[in-house]
Structure 1
C-alpha cells in the first residue's frame, strides 16, 4: 500500500520527475528522510516493482539558497563522477538521473541507486576501520580518468580562519602563517574531496567488529584533481574531531601503510593538513550539528572546537 504521507514529502514536480525515470509499472511507495548531511536534503525512496517486490533509490536535493547557487556545478560533477565510477572497483551509487538546474524539479536534484551499508561514527571498532578507510582512499587515488575533473579549490584563506575561543593562540598564528605561503608542488590525483567517515558506508557484523567491510562511498559532488595529501588531510581532520586528535595523526600513517604516497617533505605535509584543519574552523557549528543528528549527541560545538584546537596544535608540534 502506498504511504501517501511519506510520498507527499517529495515535492510534486520532483515526484513527477522521479516517476519518469522509473521502469514501466513501477511506483514510489515510500519516502524516508536520511539524516546526517549538511548541504542537501537526502531521501530514501522505496520503489514498488511490477513483480510485487521493491527496490531502493536515493534522491539528493539542494534547497538552501547558499547551496542552490552552487548546485549546478556540484551536481554536474557528481553525475560525471558516478558515471566514471560505474566502470571501476570503487563502490559508489549508480547515476539514474540528474536535474542540476531545476529545469524539471522544484530544486536541483540527483537520483541515484541505493548502496547497502551504514555510516559508522562510533569510537568502538575504530582501530579496525581506519585501515579500511585508508585502503579505500588509496584505491580512489589510483583512478586515472580519461577526462580529469576540475582542479581542487582551497576551502579557506588565512584571513577567513576562525580561531576557537580559548585556543592556543601562538599555535594558531603559526598555522595561519603556513597557509599564507604558496601551495607546494604536487602530483595530481583523482580526489573525492570530502572523503571522511560520514561519507563511507560499512557492513559491520556484530559481535565480530573485526569483520567490518566498506560497502560504498557516497557524496561525490566535490570531486576534484589535486594532491593525495588533501584528501588524506580532510579525513584526518574529521577523525580528529570525531574520535580525538591522535586519530587524525594516525590516518596518514595508515594511508602510507596501504601503499599510498604522500608529500615527501614535512613542510609540504604540514601545509595540506593545516589547510584542511583551518578550513574546518569555519564549519564547526554545522559539522557538530550533523554529527549530533547522526547520534553522537556528546559532540557539541564546544567539544568539536576543543578537539580542533588540540589537533591543530598537535600538527604544529609534530610537523611545524
Structure 2
C-alpha cells in the first residue's frame, strides 16, 4: 500500500533527486519518518519494482544545520571506505552535500536490518558486543585518513548540573585544563553509542542479540581510541547507570582494544567527554524518550551524569 501522505512529506526537489537514483522501473511507494536522530531528519523510503517486489532506502536530510556539508562529506568518506571491511554499515547510494539538487543537504543510503536497543534487559550481553564492534572500527586503516577529531567543550563552557558534587566537578574541570595527552591515532566513529548501533534480538532470548549495523558516520574522525570509548561510556552511564559507563572501558580492553597506558591520560579523555555531554543533555534526552525511555528526563540525566563524573574522580589511580 502506498503511503501517499508520507511520500508527499518528502520535499519535491528531494523526491525527484531520489527518483533519479533508483533502478529502472523502480518508484517510491512509501515513506516513514524515523526517530532517534538529533541533527538530521531521517526517513525510510520503500521502493517498489515492476515485479511487485520492494526494498528500503534511508534518506538523511540536514535542515538548517550548520556545517551540513562537512557532516555529509565525512559520512560519504566513511561509507566509501567501509564496504568490504566487515564493519556493518549502510551502503552509499547518492549524496547532495551542498543542496545543489535538493531543498536541503541530503544523503541516500541502503537500509540495514535490525533496531536500536536502549532497554536495560539484555545489557550484560550487549556491552561486550559493543566493545568488540568498536575495536573492529578502530582497527581500520584507510588509505586516506579522515579529518582530525575535535572536542568542543572547554573548562569555561561546562554546564554543572544543579545540586552536583561541586568538589568532584571542580576537580574534573581541572583535569581538562591540562595539556592534551599524546596519542596514537585511530579511525574513530566519533558518535559510537547504543543509539547508533542496530541489533537483531531474538524475542525470547535477549542475551542472543547480535549487531546488524552501525549508523551515523557523519562525525568520522582520526584520533585517540580513548575518545570513542569515553563517548560510549558516558552514553551507557546516562542510559543504564554510572556502573555501566565505568564497565565499558574494561569491556573494550577485554575485547583487545588498546587505551592510553597512563591512568591520568585515560581519565583525561573520560572526563572530557563526560563534561562535553553536560552541555547537551536536553537534546540527548529527547530522542531517548521518543524511543520509549520516558523516564529519562533532562533532570534524570543530570543526576546520572553527576554520579558518573563523581565516580570517575573517585576511581583509584
TM-score by length of 2: 0.99
Deviations 1:246-286 (A, max 9, x none): 00000000000001000111100000000000000000101
Deviations 1:159-205 (A, max 9, x none): 11000000001110110111111110001000000000000000000
Aligned counterparts of 2:282 and 2:214: Cα–Cα separation in 1 = 24
1:304 and 2:301 are equivalent in the alignment? yes
1:176 and 2:173 are equivalent in the alignment? yes
Partner of 2:151 in structure 1? 154
Partner of 1:9 in structure 2? 9
User: Would you say how many aligned residue pairs link Structure 1 and Structure 2?
Assistant: 317
1:247 and 2:244 are equivalent in the alignment? yes
1:70 and 2:67 are equivalent in the alignment? yes
Contact 1:134 1:258 (8 Å CA) reproduced: yes
Query: How far 1:209 sits from its partner (Å)?
Result: 1.5
Aligned counterparts of 2:57 and 2:203: Cα–Cα separation in 1 = 26
TM-score by length of 1: 0.98
Query: How far 1:319 sits from its partner (Å)?
Result: 5.0
Aligned counterparts of 1:125 and 1:143: Cα–Cα separation in 2 = 28
Partner of 2:111 in structure 1? 114
Aligned counterparts of 1:109 and 1:207: Cα–Cα separation in 2 = 38
Aligned counterparts of 2:316 and 2:177: Cα–Cα separation in 1 = 17
Unaligned runs of 5+ in 1: none
Deviating above 6 A after TM superposition, structure 1's stretches of 4 or more consecutive aligned residues are: none
Deviations 1:101-125 (A, max 9, x none): 1010000000000000000000000
How big is the alpha-carbon RMSD for the aligned residues of Structure 1 and Structure 2? 0.8
Unaligned runs of 5+ in 2: none
1:91 and 2:93 are equivalent in the alignment? no
Partner of 1:54 in structure 2? 54
The residue matched to 1:180 in structure 2 has which SS? coil
